[in-house]
Amino acid sequence: MPDTVTLAEPHNYFRLLDHAAMSHWWGRSIEYVERRWLRHALRVSGSASPIRRDWLDIGCGTGTRLRQWSDWGCWNRLVGVEPEDVAFQVRSKDTSLEIHTGGLPDLPVLGTRFHVITAFDVLQHVAPDLREASIRSMTRQLHDLGILLLRTNAPPISKTSGRDQTIVDPSWLRRSLAAAGLKVVRSSRFNLCGGIAEDVLRGIRRRVRRTENQGPPRIGLPQSWNRRPAGHFLAAWCGYAESRILGTGLVNFPFGHSYLIMAIKDGDHDRAANG
| Domain ranges within the chain, ordered by starting residue | 4-274
List pLDDT tens digits, range 189-200.
998 776 666 556
The strand pair at 53-58 and 114-120 is best described as: parallel
pLDDT of residue 103: 92
pLDDT of residue 260: 97
pLDDT of residue 119: 98
pLDDT of residue 217: 47
**CA distance linking residue 258 with residue 192, whole number of Å:** 9
Quick check: 116 and 56 in contact, CB under 8 A?
Answer: yes
pLDDT of residue 8: 62
Q: Which residues of the chain have pLDDT under 50?
A: 1-3, 161, 211, 216-219, 222-231, 271-275
Q: Nearest CA to 188 among 25, 31, 34, 24?
A: 34
pLDDT of residue 14: 72
List pLDDT tens digits, range 199-229.
565 566 556 555 455 554 444 554 444 444 4
DSSP character at residue 234: H
pLDDT of residue 113: 95
pLDDT of residue 36: 97
**For the purposes of burial, counting CB atoms within 10 Å of the CB of 128, is it exposed (0-12), middle (13-18) or buried (19 or more)?**
middle
**CA distance linking residue 18 with residue 67, whole number of Å:** 11
CA dihedral of 196, 130, 64, 43, whole degrees rounded to 10: 90
Residue type, 4: T
**Yes or no: is domain 4-274 CATH 3.40.50.150?**
yes
Query: CA dist 111 to 38, 56, 77, 239, 258, Å?
Result: 24, 12, 11, 39, 32
Q: Which residues contact 113 (CB under 8 A, 6 or more apart)?
A: 54, 140, 141, 142, 143, 146
pLDDT of residue 93: 64
Q: Which residues contact 30 (CB under 8 A, 6 or more apart)?
A: 151, 190, 191, 243, 258, 260
Give the chain's length. Answer: 275
List pLDDT tens digits, range 218-264.
445 544 444 444 446 777 788 889 999 999 999 999 888 899 999 99
pLDDT of residue 196: 65
pLDDT of residue 223: 46
DSSP character at residue 165: T
pLDDT of residue 34: 97
The alpha-helical segments, DSSP class H, found in the chain are 10-23, 25-45, 64-68, 86-90, 131-140, 170-179, 192-208, 224-227, 233-246, 267-274
The strand pair at 114-120 and 142-153 is best described as: parallel
pLDDT of residue 56: 97
pTM of the full structure: 0.83
